[in-house]
Structure 1
């Protein structure tokens, strides 16, 4: 990824979106970028939706059990109140946030913050999920990650739900979801 040099000395903000299916490594990549920012002695604040308690109530935890401390919040406006003097702001599971998240990210970037957002770009039905499509349109940088299809071994970009439940939000892991390629998603029950 190319970051343009800042010769004027002013802090330039940006929005980075990391998206893909479940098990594609989105949270792992978010954690990697945030840890690198900390190594560079940048001030980092990290947020996640309060409803995501799958691995930990407070920390962001990847499927590989890599973790970083975060602040669970109920709505995206809270980020504006709690970001403090952070240079870099991380947001995980962005698809679960309210419709104000794209505007919040815009405000932060305009104030000079580097905002890194991770989330599912599609729900289990293959439709755009939450605020991710809007964030993708505002993003300065986009990283689309892929998992491996559990049926055929090809690149997967769909999150197949194994349970007959029609609610859009159903928190779960490998017990409820598996990554699939396009062909296996549509052809194999």
Structure 2
């Protein structure tokens, strides 16, 4: 679907995606970029899925307790209604949003908004997660972060689920997930390397 650019005032927007495994610092990086935008006196709106209530009902909170106020939403199309006359939109946990999130991000970028999205690029099975592959394909800038493997200290790209739960959408912390390098992830998953 073609989206007509709205370049009033000559302002150009873009989409930034921050991705990686659990415990890689995605939310921390999102918060850092959003706080810097506020320091620059830009108007910022921040959103997260209403289902993410691990640390706080409204705030986006990183694993090391850094936080920023946000608006929990049920549907990505709500962002277009709530993000009027803004310079920057931040979206956390994008993998949990509906397929419309791609269209929403593109509309915002065409309106001249800087869109910063953070989310898991792979699920616990090492498969592309939710809408993240599509967001990565339309992003102007991509930052892939890595955690530290809890078994060997190497770079970790995989989120191993320790909890006995089969659904793809399962919020958790260190008691349910651990970051692993490729070798240790596939050893735990029982797949040949």
TM-score (normalizing by structure 2): 0.93
- Output aligned runs, 1:1-189, within 5 Å: 10-188=10-188
SS at match of 2:10: coil
Distance 1:9 1:84, change over 3 A: closer
Separation in structure 2 between the aligned mates of residue 44 and residue 27 of structure 1, nearest angstrom: 16
- Displacement of 1:9 in angstroms is 5.9
Q: Distance in 2 between matches of 1:152 and 1:48?
A: 33
- What are the Cα deviations for residues 48-86 of structure 1, in whole angstroms up to 9, with x where unaligned? 000000000000000010000000000100000000211
CA distance in 2, matches of 1:94, 1:124: 16
Q: Deviations over 1:124-173 (max 9, x none)?
A: 00000001000000000000000000011100000000022110011110
Distance 2:48 2:170 in 1: 16
Alignment TM-score, normalising by the size of structure 1: 0.94
In 2, Cα distance between equivalents of 1:185 and 1:48 = 28
For residue 34 of structure 1, report the CA deviation from its aligned partner.
Answer: 0.1
In 1, Cα distance between equivalents of 2:96 and 2:20: 15
Q: Which residue number in structure 1 is paired with residue 4 of structure 2?
A: none
Q: For 1:68 and 1:133, locate their aligned partners in 2 and report how far apart those are by CA, in whole Å.
A: 26
State the distance in 2 between where 1:174 and 1:188 align.
Answer: 16
Structure 2 counterpart SS, 1:188: helix
